[in-house]
Structure 1
Amino acid sequence: MTELAGTVALVTGAARGQGRSHAVALAAEGADIIAIDRCADIDSIPYPLATKADLDETVELIQAQGRRVVPVIADVRDLDALRAGVQVGIDQLGDIDIVVANAGVVAIGLKDPLDAQVYRDIVDTNLNGVWHTIAATVPSMIAKGRGGSIVLTSSAQGLVGRGGDGSAAMFAYAAAKHGVVGLMRSAANAYAQYNIRVNSVHPTGVATPMILNEHTARMMQERPNAPSLSANLLPVPFVESEDVTNAVVWLASAKARYITGATLPIDAGHTAM
């Protein structure tokens, strides 16, 4: 018997990177998956975002685990569209047990301190999008009546301010990721009466297309001190998606049944420095 057999899990940002890793691992543990992604670029974000082809690949990987999956193209910044997409998944798979609010963007190297558009897009995705995900899914979890687990993806930058450079992009990222902690703690209090646990995970840099792209590589060459801003205590430049996924699956499982309101770093010691 797999750990999460008979459950339904919803993952945002599921088309690639951490989101894909989480979705496939939850499926391997027995969950059916509602896989949500925007599948389009954002003009202010300086690297390509996931595509419909990426989401299709995630679907195939989940199906290879023998689980059902409903792919949904929706932007977490749009509450109405997200609610509609969530309902499509519920209609096909049933009410939700597990939510992983993972969708996020970054704009490393954009130095303008007054770039209001990039500030808005990052906060709207990384913070408002997390609230939208909670708002769109919790009614289903409550209706199901058997509790559940919500995992919010923050960042090491949600616990510390190291790496700030005065740019609108980095202010937005740190503010949004700190804000996720506030959402998590408030939601943990609000939904404990329904036996719904809410926690946040805080990765350091993860080896995904968010970091491993041409724009970031160019920025690293132009800013020789950049690696020191994101240094880890353990001698690794990045962690892997599976390292974060292991924590997400654990928090979703009965093994973490009494853990709620926690901030869990998966950061190779980044926040301990």
Structure 2
Amino acid sequence: MTGTLEGKVAVITGAARGQGRSHAVRLAEEGADIVAVDICRQIDSVPYPLATEEDLAETAAEVEKLDRRIVARQADVRDAAAVTEAIGDGIAELGRVDIVLANAGIAPHSAREDDPLAAFDDTVATNLAGVRHTVQAAAPRMIEQGEGGSIVVTSSTQGLSGRGGNGSGAMEGYVAAKHGVVGLMRTWANWLAPHRIRVNSVHPTGVHTPMIDNDAMQEFLGQSPEVGAALTNLLDVEAVEPIDISNAIAWLVSDQARYVTGVTLPVDAGFMVK
């Protein structure tokens, strides 16, 4: 049976693990080839381990098991030149680009925030500027191809709500960046519509990935129970799974959603209506 994305090529940032790996595998199941990009090194302000080269290699292996092609590259999305080069290499090797998932992100929340400004700056640089750099690296080729396409930027329920704010640099940066990508999504939806390129944002609640399932985040929430209480869902689930977001994205980037553009799609277990 032919998948919904047969013959397509998807660029995915933050692809070494977590949601990014899940997205890569899910889209590969639908027939897409993958350009996988990840930093694969630590950022000083982030108090939990980031992905490694071995993690990125595992993503590549899982995609290849599905008999799909994958080009895996290390690049920091904060560095416009580096991410443009990495994405350009992948597109050159696979021959085209039809889908972009600007997914890379950090959440450096900590009970002992030594440098709030660094946490703010790194979060905005990764979660907002990194999204901009990713899309700007791929969109010109999509326009040149003249065959349309789909872009999904990863925001958060925190891109639609300020619940849980506590004045920390990490929280300020995270909420500001996740709101900011909605603005990028909306301006890009207008820019790219004449080229039949759709642009949407996805807004997960908490997702079981290393970004929240780590000692630093648990210590942060333990120190600030009012924050944790504010970030609960309407449905009786503490956090959703990466595949729940991947399934939504697989629909958004397919022709089944061919007239869906400019939307903020929550996958949030009712967080936003609670």
Report the TM-score, using the length of structure 2 for normalisation.
0.97
Amino acid at match of 1:182: G
Q: Percent identity?
A: 54
Question: Residues of 1 paired with 2:250 and 2:5: CA distance?
Answer: 9
- Partner residue of 2:257? 256
- Partner residue of 1:208? 209
- Partner residue of 2:230? 229
The answer as to whether partners of 1:110 and 1:167 remain within 8 angstroms in 2 is: no
The answer as to whether partners of 2:102 and 2:134 remain within 8 angstroms in 1 is: yes
1:91 is displaced (CA, Å) by 1.4
Question: Residues of 2 paired with 1:135 and 1:150: CA distance?
Answer: 11
RMSD, aligned α-carbons: 1.2
Amino acid at match of 1:259: V
User: After superposition, what is the alpha-carbon deviation per residue over 1:117-140, rounded to whole angstroms, capped at 9, x for unaligned?
Assistant: 111100000000000011000011
- Partner residue of 1:122? 123
Amino acid at match of 2:140: P
Amino acid at match of 2:203: H
Question: Residues of 1 paired with 2:179 and 2:239: CA distance?
Answer: 21
1:114 is displaced (CA, Å) by 6.9
Amino acid at match of 1:178: H
Query: Any residues of structure 2 matched to 1:2-17 within 5 Å, and which?
Result: 2-17=3-18
- The secondary structure found in structure 1 opposite 2:225 is coil
How many residue pairs end up in the alignment?
273
Question: Residues of 2 paired with 1:111 and 1:132: CA distance?
Answer: 31
The answer as to whether partners of 1:5 and 1:30 remain within 8 angstroms in 2 is: yes
- Partner residue of 1:67? 68
Amino acid at match of 2:187: S
Question: Residues of 1 paired with 2:114 and 2:153: CA distance?
Answer: 28
1:46 is displaced (CA, Å) by 0.9
The answer as to whether partners of 2:22 and 2:243 remain within 8 angstroms in 1 is: yes
Question: Residues of 1 paired with 2:232 and 2:83: CA distance?
Answer: 36
User: After superposition, what is the alpha-carbon deviation per residue over 1:141-178, rounded to whole angstroms, capped at 9, x for unaligned?
Assistant: 11111000000000000000001001111111000000
1:220 is displaced (CA, Å) by 3.1
Amino acid at match of 1:23: A
User: After superposition, what is the alpha-carbon deviation per residue over 1:91-137, rounded to whole angstroms, capped at 9, x for unaligned?
Assistant: 11012000000000012235659721111100000000000011000
Question: Residues of 1 paired with 2:9 and 2:217: CA distance?
Answer: 35
- Partner residue of 1:172? 173
User: After superposition, what is the alpha-carbon deviation per residue over 1:204-251, rounded to whole angstroms, capped at 9, x for unaligned?
Assistant: 100000000111222233333343121001011001001100111000
Does residue 190 of structure 1 match 2:196? no
- Partner residue of 1:161? 162
- The secondary structure found in structure 1 opposite 2:172 is helix
1:2 is displaced (CA, Å) by 1.0
The answer as to whether partners of 1:8 and 1:98 remain within 8 angstroms in 2 is: yes
Change (3 A) 1:245 1:217: same
The answer as to whether partners of 1:113 and 1:166 remain within 8 angstroms in 2 is: no
Question: Residues of 1 paired with 2:221 and 2:92: CA distance?
Answer: 46
Amino acid at match of 1:131: R
Question: Residues of 2 paired with 1:264 and 1:191: CA distance?
Answer: 19
Q: Where does structure 1 lack aligned partners over 5 or more consecutive residues?
A: none
Does residue 137 of structure 1 match 2:138? yes
Question: Residues of 1 paired with 2:270 and 2:112: CA distance?
Answer: 27
1:18 is displaced (CA, Å) by 0.2
Amino acid at match of 1:39: C
- The secondary structure found in structure 2 opposite 1:11 is strand
Amino acid at match of 1:92: E
Q: Where does structure 2 lack aligned partners over 5 or more consecutive residues?
A: none
Amino acid at match of 2:144: A
The answer as to whether partners of 2:111 and 2:216 remain within 8 angstroms in 1 is: no
Change (3 A) 1:100 1:117: same
Does residue 37 of structure 1 match 2:38? yes
Change (3 A) 1:60 1:113: closer
The answer as to whether partners of 1:114 and 1:167 remain within 8 angstroms in 2 is: no
The answer as to whether partners of 1:25 and 1:245 remain within 8 angstroms in 2 is: yes
